[in-house]
Each structure stands twice: as C-alpha cells, then as structure tokens.
Copies of this chain bind each other. A is one copy, B any other.
C-alpha cells in the first residue's frame, strides 16, 4: 500500500534518497518529525535549505568552511609546508583527534572511482599540484583510505608529484594498536614485517 498523503510520500522519498536509509526507516523518521513542534521543523528546514549558499570550500585546502579560508589554514602555529592529502572532512576530524599532526590539509572531495564515474578531473587535484608548484610545500602526506580506490588515487597523485621538488610520504600500514597478532589479516601482517621500524619506547608524543 502507498502512503495515503502525498506530502508524507514526498518527504519519505527525500529521506530515502540518503545513503543507508530505506523507505521503512524514512517513514519512521517522518513520523517522528510529525510529532515535533512547528518551530523545530522550521529550524531543520531552514538549516537544510541554507547549506548550499552558506557553506563554502576553503580557497586554500578545499575543506568545508564558513569563511574563505578555513580555521585550520588560518592558524599561524601550523606548519604550512607540510600538507596532508585526505578524502573528506571526516578524515581531517579523525587525524585532528589524534593530536599528532601540526601541518595543514588538502581535501580532495573524493577518490578516483571509475565504477562511480569519478575521474581525476572531478576531484580537487589540480589546486594541489599548483600549491606544490608554487614551491612552499616541503612534504605531501598521502592519507587516503586503504581501499582499492584510495590506492589508485594515491598512485595517481604520486605520478603527478614525483617530478616536483617535494617529499612524498604515506601513512604507515601495519598491525593496529591493541590487536592480537593471529587475528590480523595476512596482507597487513606481511607489510608490517617488511616495513618493520626501529624499536621505540614512546612512539606517540603527548
């Protein structure tokens, strides 16, 4: 049976277009919203309507920002010569939470994915190359997800950057902290043996 109200149906369709939300969940969300106060709904609707006009990309790094230059790029205490290349804002938040990184970022806005029709020209790649060519960047850290698409993009960026005067590094792959060895997958364990590091009592600086 279809939903008897066209307006409910419309909103359910919109919610169901979001990733990971099906029609049943969408209807549950709409029924929950219908029980709220009108002001709350208005605030939600207004906040949603504003995102395309109010949120912009940082002109330097491509991060989401309310101003032209984002809060990270505008911090003078950060090393502007060290650039960490990430997929999106969630990766920045994850790295910031470690409190181990004091450089700046460059947000690609995705990874190369032929399956989804995303090529290098759809990503924020050429501004990165420009940034490096300008000569202020000493090191580029490739910190994309350890997936097929992430690795492809890492390789593409490496090819683009290798002839420029810049050090290219990537996140170390290895056994997670706190895991039991026999549960680690072969590929990771193999890499962690090949790329073994000098023993260090306090690798994380606090």
Contact = CB atoms under 8 A, between A and B. Distances in A.
A52 B66 contact: no
A89 B48 contact: no
- Count copies of this chain in the complex: 2
A70 B29 contact: no
A14 B47 contact: yes
B20 A25 contact: yes
B14 A48 contact: yes
B34 A28 contact: no
A4 B32 CA distance: 29
Contacts of A27: 89-90
A90 B24 CA distance: 9
A135 to B, nearest CB: 27
Interface string A63-84: 1111000111000000000000
Nearest to A48: B45
Contacts of A33: 18, 48, 51
Given A1-B96, A66-B5, A51 B30 contact: yes
Closest CB pairs A-B (n = 8): A45-B49, A1-B96, A45-B48, A14-B44, A7-B54, A38-B52, A10-B47, A11-B47
